[in-house]
Chains A and B, each alone.
Chain A
Amino acid sequence: MRWTRSGSSESPPGAAEHRGAHRHPDGFWEGVGRLLPVARVVMEFCWLYPWLVVIGGGFYGATGPLLTAGWAFLLVVGAQVAVRQIVDRGGLPRPAGGGDSLRHARILLVGVGAVLGFAAIHEQYYSHLPLWHPTWVATLLQAAHDALPEVPKPVLAALAAACLWWRGLVLGARHVGAIEIEEAYKTGVGMVVVYLAAAVVYADARGFEAAGPEMPPMMLAFFFLGLSALALARLAAIWEQSRPDERSQIPGRAWVLLITGVVGLIMLAAGMMAGLATADVFKYLGVVLRPLLPVVEALFVVLFVVAGLVVRVLIAILSRLPRREMPEIGPATTVFDDLLRRLREIEMHPQVVSGARWGMVLAVIAILVAGMALAVVLRRRRERRPDEDDHESVWSVREALRSLAGRLPRLGRRQEDDDGPTAPAVGAIRRIYRELLGLGAGLGAPRHAWATPREHEPRLRGVLREAEAEVELLTAAYERVRYGTWRPAALEVREAEAALERAKAAAAEPATEPPGSASSEGRSR
C-alpha cells in the first residue's frame, strides 16, 4: 500500500504509535511556524518605529516620540496576535442568541484596538488624570475636532496608534511562510537603507535631529531577527514538506542555536569592523545584548547554588563515614608527618585558597555536566529503534589535514601558473620565443598586444625571410607550451635554441632580395 504521495498520506497500520515512539521535533517546528507571523510583525515594527519617531520629530521637534516604543509594539503585535487567534480558531463561537460571529469578531477587534489606543494616549499625554476620567477623552476629542490647520500631538499620536493597530490586523490575517519572510526582509532592508540615506542627507532636518544622529538599535535588531527568521522559515517549510516521514526531520534546537550563533557572529563581526572604522556601534550592541545579562546572571547563580548544595552534601556524607583506627606511625612516617605539618604551616595567599575552592566547585560542576551528558547518551541509546538512522562521525585528523594540504598546493599551483612556467624546459621555450620576438621587433615587426603567436607569425616571416622554417618551428613550440600541456625534452629545447641561433644569423646576414623589393626598402628606411 502506498501511504504517502506528495504529502497527502494514508497512514499505514501502526504508523501512529511508530511516530510517537520517535524523537521527532514536531512540536518544535510547529512552534516555529506559530512564531513566524509574530516575527514578521516584529521585523516590520523594527524599521517602522524609527520612521514614526522621525515623523513625530518633524512635526513637533525634539519633544519625544509620538508613542513610546512599548505601546507601539503592543499595538502592532497585539493586533496581529488577536487576529491570528481568531483565524486559527476559525472565528468566534456563535453567540447564544444567534447572530453573526464575524460581526462579533470585528466589533471585538475594534473595541480592543480602541481600548489599547486610548490607553497608550492616556499613558503618554494625559497621565496626570485617571484613566477612567472622561475629561481627557473629551479634551482629546475636542483637539481632534480643532485639528486643522495645526494637528495637536495627541491627535497625531492617536492616528498613529490607529494605523499601527490596523497594520497589525492586516498582517495578522495573512499566511506567513518562507516567501513572506523573505519579502518582509527585503522590504525591511529597503526601508532601513532609505532611512539611513535620508538620515545622512537630511541630518539637520527636525525629524532626524529629534531621532538623534545615531542609528536606532531597532535596526540592528531587525537584521538579527530577519536573518534568523529567514533561516528558520526555510527550515520550517522543508520540515512541513517532509512531515510524513518522521525520520526526515530536522533537529530543531541544534539548528536554532547554530543559526543564532552565526547571525550573532555576523553582527559581532560587523560591529567590530565598524568599530575599526571609527564608527561607534558597541553601545548599540550593548543595548541589544543587555537584556541577556540577567539571564546569564541567573544561570550562574543557579549553577553555583547547585554546586554549593552538592559540596555540602558530599561533606555531610563524608563526615558521617566511620573513621578507621590508624596504626601507630613508625619512625619512617615521621618525615611525612613533618612534611604535612610544614605544608599546613605555610601561609597561603587568601586568593590562592579562594581559587582552589572555586576550582573544586567548578570541578564538581564539570562532573555533574559530564554525568548528565552520559545519562542523556545512555537514554538515547536505550530508546534507539532498529530502523532509526545510523549517525556516525567521519572525523579524522589525517583526512582533514590531507584535505587542507590538497587545497594549499592547488592554490600554489594556480599562483605558479599565473606567474610563469612550472618546468625549466617550458621556461626555456618561452625565453627563446621572447628572444625571437625581440629579434623581430628589432627588424621592424613588433608584436601587437592583440596578436596571437599564430597571427604574429607572418610578420616574423616577413622580416626573417631566410629563417621561415625556424620561425615556424619556434612559434609552434611556443604555442604548445603556452596553450597546451607539452613539456619539451632537453633535445627539443636544444633544437629550439639552435633554431633561434640560425634565425639570429639570418637576421645578421645582408638581405638577399633584389634591390628595390618592398621589404628591403622598408628595412633600409
Chain B
Amino acid sequence: MFSQGWLIVGGLLLILGLAAHSGGPFLVGLVVLLGAGTSYLSHRYCLHSVAFRRSFAPRRAFQGEEITLTLEVTNRKPIPLAWLEVTDELPEDVVPRRGRIIPSLRQRRQHLAHLFSLRWYERVRRRVTITCMARGYFPLGPARLRSGDLFGLTSQGRTQEGADFLIVYPKIVPLEAFGIPALHPIGDHRAPRPLLEDPTRTIGVRIYQTTDPVRRVHWKATARTGRLQTRQYESTTTQRLAILLNMDTLGEYAEYRGFIRPLLELNIMVAASLAAWAEEQGIPVGLHANGYLPEGLRRVRLAPALGAAHLTAILEALAKVFSTPVMPLGDLMALEAGTLPWGTTGVIVTAVVDTPLLAGIARFQEAGHSAVLVLIGDRVADPVLGIPTHRVRGEAGWRAMDEIRLV
C-alpha cells in the first residue's frame, strides 16, 4: 500500500486541505498516509526477528515407520503476525499425516504448508507425524517463510536455506529358507556337520586312540588321569557373505536410461534383509554395489564383518545409494574378486542377467569364491549357470511386501 500512487494521493489531499483551509481533504490525506505508513511498516518488519527451526525425532527410521517432525517459529518483536506461512520442502516419499500439501516443481518433492499466527514475543511449536514411505537419504528443506502487511495488500517471503537430512533404512523382512554353501570350511563359525576341526578351539578330551596323532595328546590330562588323553577340537567352517547388489534394472549397463523403481527398491530390500539375516546368523557380511554414495561420490564397498554397527553401516549405505548404476555389476565383481577373502560367498542380487554379469560371475568363481544368484522379479530368466539360484517374485509390490519368498 506504500506505493508512489498512495503517497501522491495523500500528499495532494494534504496540500489541497492546507491551501483551501478545508479540514476534509486534510483529514483524508492524513488517513491515507497513516494507513499507507502502517501498511509499509508492518510489511517491512513482518519477517524481522522471526526465526524458524525444524527438527525431527528419531533422526533415522525404517521404511514404513513414522517420525515426528517439529516446526518451531519464534517472533521476537513487539509486532504480532496475523499470519505466517511456512512452506517446507519435503520428499514425496515422506508423507505427513496432516497438513496442506502443495506439489513442487522439483521432481519427487512436495511442499508442506503450515499457517501460524503469532503474538508478540511468542514461540509456537507444531508437531507433524510423517510416514516414511520409501528408503532414502532425504533432505528436509529449505523452508520458505511468507507473511504480509496488516491489511493484506502486500506480502514478502524469505527462504531459509539449510536442510536437515533424514535417513530411511530399507524395510527388512524375514527370509524364508535360505541356504548358502560354504566353500572354505575354516574359521570360527560352527558348522552343522564336522568337516574339519579348528585346533584353536578345544571342546574337551577323550581317551587316546591309536589313530590319533601324537601332537593331539593332552599331557596334563594324561598326567591327571593316568591314561593317555587326546584333545577334541570343535568342527568349524568359514562363511563370509558378500552381497553384490546390481543397481541396473534395465540391463546392459543402462546408466543414462533410468531405472525401474519397483525392481530397484525390491533389490535393495532383499539386500537389506539378507544382511540382517546374516548378522542374525553370525555370518560376516559385506556389501558391494555398483552405485555411488552421496558423500564423496564413492562406490558402495563394505568388506564382510560382523556386529550391529556394521549392519547399521550397510543399511545406511543402502538408504543413501544413488539409484543410477555407475558400472556393470560384472565389472564390479571382477574388481572385487581379488580383494575379497578367498572362499567368500557372493550373493548376487539382481533384476537383470546380462553378458557382463555372466562374465563377472565366471571371474568371481575363478578367483576362488562361490556365488549364489538371487533374481528379482518375474521377467528375468534363469541363466542356468549351475550355481544356487533363487527368485523373489515382486507381485505383491515392494511397499506391501512383508516377507521374502525365495523360490
Binding site for B on A (CB under 8 A): 1-7, 12, 178, 182, 189, 192-193, 196-197, 199-200, 203, 213-215, 219-220, 223, 227, 230-231, 233-235, 237-238, 241-242, 244-245, 247-251, 255, 258-259, 262, 266-267, 269-271, 273-274, 277-281, 284, 387, 389-396, 399-400, 403
Known contacts: A230-B151, A277-B26. The answer to whether A235 contacts B82 by CB under 8 A is yes
Quick check: B101 and A6 within 8 Å, CB to CB? yes
Across-interface contacts of A1 in B (CB, < 8 A): 95
Quick check: B101 and A248 within 8 Å, CB to CB? no
Quick check: B98 and A4 within 8 Å, CB to CB? yes
Across-interface contacts of A245 in B (CB, < 8 A): 98-100, 114-115
Quick check: A231 and B151 within 8 Å, CB to CB? yes
CA A490 – CA B115 in complex, angstroms?
58
Quick check: B20 and A248 within 8 Å, CB to CB? no
Quick check: A189 and B32 within 8 Å, CB to CB? yes
**Top 9 A-B residue pairs of the complex, sorted by shortest distance between their CB atoms:** A234-B152, A279-B23, A215-B24, A248-B115, A270-B30, A395-B121, A390-B125, A274-B27, A242-B115
Known contacts: A7-B100, A267-B31, A394-B74. The answer to whether A234 contacts B148 by CB under 8 A is yes
Which listed residue, A219, A220, A391, touches B123 by the CB 8 Å rule? A391
Which listed residue, A189, A219, A274, touches B9 by the CB 8 Å rule? A189
Extra inter-chain contacts (7) besides given A196-B24, A390-B126, CB under 8 Å: A1-B95, A4-B100, A192-B28, A235-B152, A248-B100, A270-B30, A394-B74
Quick check: A392 and B123 within 8 Å, CB to CB? yes
Known contacts: A235-B152, A250-B83. The answer to whether A196 contacts B101 by CB under 8 A is no
Max chain B Cβ within 10 angstroms of own Cβ: one of A7, A238, A248: A248
Quick check: B103 and A6 within 8 Å, CB to CB? yes
User: For chain B residues 13-42, which have a beta carbon within 8 Å of chain A?
Assistant: 13, 16-18, 20-28, 30-32, 34-35, 38
Quick check: B24 and A231 within 8 Å, CB to CB? no
Binding site for A on B (CB under 8 A): 9, 12-13, 16-18, 20-28, 30-32, 34-35, 38, 49, 74-76, 78, 80, 82-83, 85, 95, 97-103, 113-117, 119-127, 129, 148, 150-153
Known contacts: A215-B28, A219-B24, A281-B27. The answer to whether A178 contacts B121 by CB under 8 A is no
Which listed residue, B31, B98, B114, touches A266 by the CB 8 Å rule? B31
Across-interface contacts of A200 in B (CB, < 8 A): 16, 20, 22, 25
CA A390 – CA B122 in complex, angstroms?
10
Known contacts: A193-B28, A215-B23. The answer to whether A394 contacts B76 by CB under 8 A is yes
Known contacts: A238-B115, A245-B100, A279-B23. The answer to whether A387 contacts B95 by CB under 8 A is no
Q: Closest residue to B98 on the A side, CB-wise?
A: A245
Which listed residue, A189, A230, A249, A395, touches B152 by the CB 8 Å rule? A230
CA A279 – CA B14 in complex, angstroms?
11
Which listed residue, A215, A242, A259, A269, touches B34 by the CB 8 Å rule? A269
Known contacts: A242-B115, A267-B31. The answer to whether A280 contacts B25 by CB under 8 A is no
Q: Closest residue to B99 on the A side, CB-wise?
A: A245
Q: Closest residue to B20 on the A side, CB-wise?
A: A200
Q: Closest residue to A242 on the B side, CB-wise?
A: B115
Known contacts: A4-B99, A196-B16, A279-B27. The answer to whether A387 contacts B150 by CB under 8 A is no
Quick check: A250 and B115 within 8 Å, CB to CB? yes
Known contacts: A234-B148, A266-B35. The answer to whether A274 contacts B23 by CB under 8 A is yes
Which listed residue, A231, A242, A249, A250, touches B150 by the CB 8 Å rule? A231
Known contacts: A277-B18, A277-B26, A279-B26. The answer to whether A227 contacts B35 by CB under 8 A is yes
Across-interface contacts of A4 in B (CB, < 8 A): 98-101
CA A196 – CA B18 in complex, angstroms?
13
Q: List 25 A-B contacts (CB under 8 A).
A: A12-B98, A200-B16, A200-B22, A214-B23, A215-B25, A215-B28, A219-B28, A223-B28, A230-B152, A235-B83, A237-B152, A241-B100, A245-B115, A247-B126, A248-B114, A250-B83, A250-B117, A255-B82, A258-B82, A259-B150, A266-B35, A278-B21, A390-B123, A392-B125, A393-B122
Max chain A Cβ within 10 angstroms of own Cβ: one of B25, B38, B97, B120: B25
Which listed residue, A197, A262, A400, touches B16 by the CB 8 Å rule? A197
The smallest beta-carbon distance between B96 and chain A, in angstroms, is 9
Across-interface contacts of A269 in B (CB, < 8 A): 30, 34
CA A399 – CA B119 in complex, angstroms?
17
Across-interface contacts of A193 in B (CB, < 8 A): 9, 12-13, 28
CA A280 – CA B24 in complex, angstroms?
9
Q: Closest residue to B92 on the A side, CB-wise?
A: A2
The smallest beta-carbon distance between A238 and chain B, in angstroms, is 5
CA A3 – CA B102 in complex, angstroms?
12
CA A234 – CA B20 in complex, angstroms?
37
The smallest beta-carbon distance between B132 and chain A, in angstroms, is 14
CA A245 – CA B100 in complex, angstroms?
6
Across-interface contacts of A250 in B (CB, < 8 A): 82-83, 115, 117
CA A251 – CA B118 in complex, angstroms?
10
CA A127 – CA B291 in complex, angstroms?
94
The smallest beta-carbon distance between A142 and chain B, in angstroms, is 40
Across-interface contacts of B100 in A (CB, < 8 A): 4, 6-7, 241-242, 244-245, 248
Which listed residue, B25, B35, B78, B122, touches A196 by the CB 8 Å rule? B25
The smallest beta-carbon distance between A220 and chain B, in angstroms, is 8
CA A258 – CA B78 in complex, angstroms?
13
The smallest beta-carbon distance between A244 and chain B, in angstroms, is 6
Quick check: B28 and A279 within 8 Å, CB to CB? no
Quick check: B95 and A2 within 8 Å, CB to CB? yes
Across-interface contacts of A403 in B (CB, < 8 A): 49, 76
Q: Closest residue to A196 on the B side, CB-wise?
A: B25
CA A4 – CA B127 in complex, angstroms?
17
Quick check: A231 and B125 within 8 Å, CB to CB? no
Across-interface contacts of A230 in B (CB, < 8 A): 151-153
CA A60 – CA B349 in complex, angstroms?
98
Across-interface contacts of A220 in B (CB, < 8 A): 27, 31
Quick check: A242 and B35 within 8 Å, CB to CB? no
Quick check: A197 and B25 within 8 Å, CB to CB? yes
Known contacts: A199-B24, A234-B148, A235-B83. The answer to whether A262 contacts B38 by CB under 8 A is yes
The smallest beta-carbon distance between B263 and chain A, in angstroms, is 24
The smallest beta-carbon distance between B348 and chain A, in angstroms, is 36
The smallest beta-carbon distance between A382 and chain B, in angstroms, is 20
The smallest beta-carbon distance between B36 and chain A, in angstroms, is 10
Q: Closest residue to A223 on the B side, CB-wise?
A: B31
CA A387 – CA B125 in complex, angstroms?
10
The smallest beta-carbon distance between A160 and chain B, in angstroms, is 23
CA A404 – CA B82 in complex, angstroms?
23
CA A267 – CA B30 in complex, angstroms?
9
The smallest beta-carbon distance between A363 and chain B, in angstroms, is 29
Q: Closest residue to B83 on the A side, CB-wise?
A: A238
CA A500 – CA B353 in complex, angstroms?
86
Quick check: A196 and B150 within 8 Å, CB to CB? no
CA A215 – CA B374 in complex, angstroms?
89
Across-interface contacts of A279 in B (CB, < 8 A): 17, 22-24, 26-27
CA A395 – CA B123 in complex, angstroms?
10
CA A341 – CA B123 in complex, angstroms?
58
Across-interface contacts of B102 in A (CB, < 8 A): 6
Max chain B Cβ within 10 angstroms of own Cβ: one of A219, A234, A400: A234
Quick check: B22 and A393 within 8 Å, CB to CB? no
